[in-house]
Amino acid sequence: MKRANLELTVGFFVLLGLLCLAYLAINLGKIEIYGEGYQIYANFDNASGLKTGATVEVAGVEVGRVVSIKLTPLNQARVGLKMPIGLKIHDDAIASIRTKGIIGDKFIKLTTGGSEKLIPPGGSIINTESGIDLEELLGTYIHGKV
């Protein structure tokens, strides 16, 4: 009888540990199981350092994720952004690639516009600002092309 209680207790704690591990994997891995939303796009001349899964922020608040980065026929980076259903993006919004901290991860900063026209699902943000590539900037300075 004592052995059965011991096995039941060990089984309970193993199950509890697996549940905690799954919870941490989902939250730390930024996996969205329940995420509904719509996708919009932004074209950048240079998306260096930006990765799929990067955050999209409005006024410093995380509101979405980068879901795709592809090359267009015009040699621009077409970045797909997944936005929550309730968030309205105006057609004069500005999408900028920014860096968290000095050497941090890249993210998309959206500056909301004031236009009455909204970007529909599948639409594109026209106004974009590419990120600053420090290696390219230093190379230009070192070779005297400033």
Same domain, 63 and 95: yes
Confidence of residue 34 (pLDDT cuts 50, 70, 90): very low
Same domain, 48 and 26: no
Same domain, 65 and 99: yes
Q: Could you read off the pLDDT of 7-31 as tens digits, one per residue?
A: 888 888 889 988 888 887 777 665 5
Same domain, 20 and 59: no
In a domain, 3, yes or no: yes
Give the chain's largest Cα–Cα span.
Answer: 83
Same domain, 65 and 85: yes
Domain that residue 20 falls in = 1-31
Same domain, 15 and 78: no
Same domain, 25 and 56: no
Alpha-helix residue ranges (DSSP H) falling in the chain: 2-28, 134-142
pTM of the model: 0.67
Helix (H) / strand (E) containing 31: none
Answer for the pair 113, 119: CB distance below 8 angstroms, yes or no. Answer: no
The stretch 96-124 carries a mean pLDDT of 84
Q: Could you read off the pLDDT of 42-77 as tens digits, one per residue?
A: 998 888 888 888 889 988 888 889 999 998 888 888
